[in-house]
Structure 1
Amino acid sequence: MSIQTTEVIIVGAGQAGVAMSEHLLKAGIPHLVLERARIAERWRTGRWDSLVANGPAWHDRFPGLELPGGPDAFVPKEQVADYFVSYVKHLNSPVRCGVEVQKVTRLAGRSGFLVETNSGPFEAQYVVAATGAFQTPVIPSIVPKDAGVTQFHSAHYRNPEQLPEGAVLVVGAGSSGVQIADELARSGRKVYLSVGPHDRPPRSYRGRDFVWWLGVLNKWDAEATLGVEHTTIAVSGARGGHTVDFRRLAAEGITLLGRSDSYANGKLHFADDLRTNIERGDKNYLSVLDEADAYVQRSGIDLPLEPQAREFLPLPECVLQPLKTLDLGKAGISTILWATGYVSDYSWLPADAVGTDGRPNHQRGVGGAPGIYFLGLPWQTRRGSSFIWGVWYDAKYVADHITKQNDYMTYQPNTPQLSTQV
């Protein structure tokens, strides 16, 4: 089988891969985008049915094309996927779907890589891993598989009708866990929600969405600090967008629990941290309001006061007297849904591309292994890196680096180099 050659192979045609292609096209660098399924596949099949983008359309997009529905809409997931299909057509990007990359190895005795796929081999000088961070769902090994309850990850949740009858325990207080728990409760299910440490920004304040506030307060451009890159954020674009309020969720019938800790004899045990987690989330929420108020006063911008934003419902009984142990059978729990994140799988890359922990070896997306690049990672360069608009800017940085490397490799001196030997 003949080997196809190009300058850059981009692995993945999600938002990261499409952004990377745009910048390489602008730089005039030949490349191919290899996608094992369809463009933006995870938006279609890796999310639940009712998911919408967590940011408004004016913000969570690429600069070259508007999202549908108007600037303040929270766009449904299928329309987000369609947007990236349209963007590929808008760019005339060289995307090849149905091509799964199986292994990348360095070429022997010369620069570049052999990229093995189910459609035959490719050769390229550079490889960009644009598969993102949300690859392999993680379910903690707390509850054994033979515990008598259905267990699966939020990546495989689609709708309430998918679950067996009975109560549901949702583990995880990030955007996915909170939105799924709320949807299940609204469908008539009894829901328990295990809440860990989290940030809880306001959906909007004083007439501006929180993405606007994070922008003018320079928080999107905050660089990663130790521990911050793993912060869970509870925010929702569902039903037109609203602030996540755990007190309200409890008032509507959801039983809040602490962080899931251990399991034995049909009972799940929880850490004694629920009230601490709720109050720390409240503190984060209020800190954003404080900074926003200070910005308004400092800048003189005319935005309406919103004193009611600081009014909280009282702490619910399930927080004041939290359950430390839950007998799953007696509670009627038939399903545990783990909204507990993902790990990345880069086993297909050369061994020097990742660290001993399997995490990417990179600086701002530029791999420690020459010729390897990463894109779409949380906090790759800044807080906004894993968001639609943020990955577009990270892709430009990576494309610029590839352009500079090409300039070095094509350099030829005008005159012969003199020998230094005497």
Structure 2
Amino acid sequence: MPTTDTVIIGAGHAGLAVSHCLTGYGIEHVVLERGQVAQRWRSGRWDSCRLLTPNWLSRLPGWSYQGDDPDGFMSAASFADHLSAYARISRAPVRENTTVIGVRGDGESYLVSTDAGTWRTRCVVIATGYHSRSLVPALAGGFSPTITQIGAAAYRNPTQLPVGGVLVVGASSTGVQIADELARSGREVTLAVGEHTRMPRRYGGRDVLCWLDRLGSLDRTLDEMPDPHRARREPSFQLAAGRALDLGVLRDRGVHLAGRLVRVDGGQRAVFADDLQDTTTRAENRLRRVLGAIDRYAGFTHAADVPSLVIDGGVRQVTGLSSVVWATGFRPDYPWLQVPVLDSAGHLRHRRGITEAPGLFAVGLRFQHRRNATLVDGARHDAAYLAEQIAVRLRHRNTNVAT
């Protein structure tokens, strides 16, 4: 049975960041990946998907974007190649095409079982991220079997769906982009709108994320938040790569806007709540708070330049659907984890990625410590911190760790 100091499960950006930092400490480790490096970016995104963060914000320990388009947005395939190059430069000890099927404690060690054998290790880092599977509500069971249903992770392009009307459920970045693409293809699209944060792509001549980065808003820690539980559930930004996209743009494109999906009648009729105006008003208020903070920081008075978006009413029901796309978020999934560190909802109990089980860590979780923990840029902070904690546990001396 092979042994190592640390096993990292997942060779996405977060797992590779931890690997880079462990190498800086001289800690022996292995990175196990079920497919290729960055597999989820290769197989779990729609064809036209691009990162929501500009290229310059793809910072990782010892690695940054070196191309000639820092303000552009990498496609999913390009970003996968970007991470493959990072793995090579870092000499990350990745074992590709190795699927983890079990992790269990064994005294002071862990046994990590895979389809290629079992590893014994002192430490395990779960780096499978927060987006393991689409979160599909129980309402999905109310639709007729004749209506095609897919989660956002399974959506690829409009030709994948049968001819007919499409309901997209969820209006954060994924939902609005998919609804926009479907409408552009000529489909009749209804968008069920839940909580979200309206956000302009550019403001004051810069990408809005540039301002949030300068403000330190993305680096705010959970300890700084008045209500940590609420902070972890705050609505996601409504953004698209390189262009403005909000409910007003979709409405003008012919997308039918609706409130939350509340029930399905007779397997065919989707019924929506009368809450669209309230939801969009809250999103508008969140936008104004963000723009106000940017104005105070930069000395602007530009907030009035971003027109208010008023959405009245909305459709209350729709029939004639051929398919439903669930863009209702994602959740982590650990079917192979045999250590009692999950709460009743299946989430890891942790503080800053350190679980209750000695030697068991995680990275890439929602608001793990900083607000940007699930973004590419945020992983570098958590990776450095966890590598330090692992070094302490293994009694390794700090050498030269790039962050």
Distance 1:284 1:43 in 2: 30
Contact 1:173 1:234 in 2 (8 A): no
Cα separation, partners in 2 of 1:248 and 1:312, compared to 1, 3 Å = farther
Spell out, residue by residue over 1:184-216, the C-alpha distance to the aligned partner (whole angstroms, 9 max, x if none): 111111111000011122212111212121122
Which residue in 2 is equivalent to 1:213? 211
How far does residue 390 in structure 1 lie from its aligned partner after superposition? 0.3
How far does residue 386 in structure 1 lie from its aligned partner after superposition? 0.4
Distance 1:375 1:307 in 2: 36
How far does residue 404 in structure 1 lie from its aligned partner after superposition? 1.1
2:165 aligned to 151, 164, 167, which one? Answer: 167
Which residue in 1 is equivalent to 2:317? 325
How far does residue 343 in structure 1 lie from its aligned partner after superposition? 2.2
SS of 2:377's partner is helix
How far does residue 81 in structure 1 lie from its aligned partner after superposition? 0.2
Question: Residue 198 of structure 1 aligns to which amino acid in structure 2?
Answer: H
1:341 aligned to 329, 334, 352, which one? Answer: 329
Contact 2:45 2:155 in 1 (8 A): yes
How far does residue 60 in structure 1 lie from its aligned partner after superposition? 2.4
Contact 2:355 2:361 in 1 (8 A): yes
1:31 aligned to 29, 32, 41, which one? Answer: 29
SS of 1:230's partner is coil
Distance 2:288 2:303 in 1: 12
Which residue in 2 is equivalent to 1:105? 104
Distance 1:14 1:408 in 2: 25
How far does residue 293 in structure 1 lie from its aligned partner after superposition? 1.0
Cα separation, partners in 2 of 1:323 and 1:120, compared to 1, 3 Å = same
Distance 1:311 1:115 in 2: 54
Distance 1:387 1:140 in 2: 25
Unmatched runs of 5 consecutive residues or more in structure 1: 298-302, 410-422
Is structure 2 residue 129 aligned with structure 1 residue 132? yes
1:292 aligned to 291, 294, 300, which one? Answer: 294
Distance 1:44 1:68 in 2: 20
Spell out, residue by residue over 1:35-65, the C-alpha distance to the aligned partner (whole angstroms, 9 max, x if none): 0111001111100000111011011232513
1:158 aligned to 139, 153, 156, which one? Answer: 156
Which residue in 2 is equivalent to 1:255? 256
How far does residue 137 in structure 1 lie from its aligned partner after superposition? 1.7
How far does residue 307 in structure 1 lie from its aligned partner after superposition? 6.1
Which residue in 2 is equivalent to 1:85? 84
Is structure 2 residue 397 aligned with structure 1 residue 396? no
SS of 1:6's partner is strand
Question: Residue 256 of structure 1 aligns to which amino acid in structure 2?
Answer: L
Spell out, residue by residue over 1:192-248, the C-alpha distance to the aligned partner (whole angstroms, 9 max, x if none): 10000111222121112121211222211223322221223233343xx12332122
Q: Which has the higher contact order (CA 8 A, sep 6+)?
A: 2
How far does residue 320 in structure 1 lie from its aligned partner after superposition? 2.1
Q: Report the structure number with the largest CA radius of gyration.
A: 1
TM-score, with structure 1 as normaliser: 0.88
Question: Residue 110 of structure 2 aligns to which amino acid in structure 1?
Answer: F
SS of 1:102's partner is strand
Which residue in 1 is equivalent to 2:338? 350
Question: Residue 287 of structure 1 aligns to which amino acid in structure 2?
Answer: R
Is structure 2 residue 139 aligned with structure 1 residue 142? yes
Which residue in 2 is equivalent to 1:412? none
Mean CA deviation greater in 391-400 or 207-216: 207-216
How far does residue 408 in structure 1 lie from its aligned partner after superposition? 8.4
Distance 1:180 1:366 in 2: 35
Count matched residues. 389
Contact 2:200 2:239 in 1 (8 A): no
Is structure 2 residue 375 aligned with structure 1 residue 387? yes
Question: Residue 95 of structure 1 aligns to which amino acid in structure 2?
Answer: V
Distance 1:163 1:69 in 2: 37
SS of 2:119's partner is strand
Cα separation, partners in 2 of 1:262 and 1:335, compared to 1, 3 Å = same
Distance 1:309 1:99 in 2: 52
Distance 1:321 1:100 in 2: 48
How far does residue 98 in structure 1 lie from its aligned partner after superposition? 0.8
Distance 1:221 1:96 in 2: 32
Distance 1:67 1:79 in 2: 13
1:377 aligned to 353, 361, 365, which one? Answer: 365
Spell out, residue by residue over 1:72-108, the C-alpha distance to the aligned partner (whole angstroms, 9 max, x if none): 0111110000000000001111000011111112224
Question: Residue 274 of structure 2 aligns to which amino acid in structure 1?
Answer: D
Distance 2:343 2:246 in 1: 39
Distance 1:9 1:248 in 2: 46
How far does residue 362 in structure 1 lie from its aligned partner after superposition? 1.0
Contact 1:173 1:232 in 2 (8 A): no
SS of 2:357's partner is coil
Contact 1:54 1:235 in 2 (8 A): no
Which residue in 1 is equivalent to 2:65? 66
Distance 1:364 1:320 in 2: 42
Unmatched runs of 5 consecutive residues or more in structure 2: 223-227, 398-403
Which residue in 1 is equivalent to 2:114? 117
Is structure 2 residue 280 aligned with structure 1 residue 278? yes
Contact 1:286 1:310 in 2 (8 A): no
SS of 1:279's partner is helix
Distance 2:334 2:246 in 1: 37
Distance 1:289 1:54 in 2: 19
Question: Residue 314 of structure 2 aligns to which amino acid in structure 1?
Answer: P
Mean CA deviation greater in 65-74 or 149-158: 65-74
How far does residue 282 in structure 1 lie from its aligned partner after superposition? 1.3
How far does residue 153 in structure 1 lie from its aligned partner after superposition? 0.6
Question: Residue 358 of structure 1 aligns to which amino acid in structure 2?
Answer: G
Contact 2:105 2:339 in 1 (8 A): no
How far does residue 145 in structure 1 lie from its aligned partner after superposition? 5.0
Root-mean-square deviation over aligned CA pairs: 1.8
Contact 2:166 2:324 in 1 (8 A): yes
How far does residue 392 in structure 1 lie from its aligned partner after superposition? 1.6
Which residue in 1 is equivalent to 2:8? 10
Mean CA deviation greater in 266-275 or 254-263: 266-275
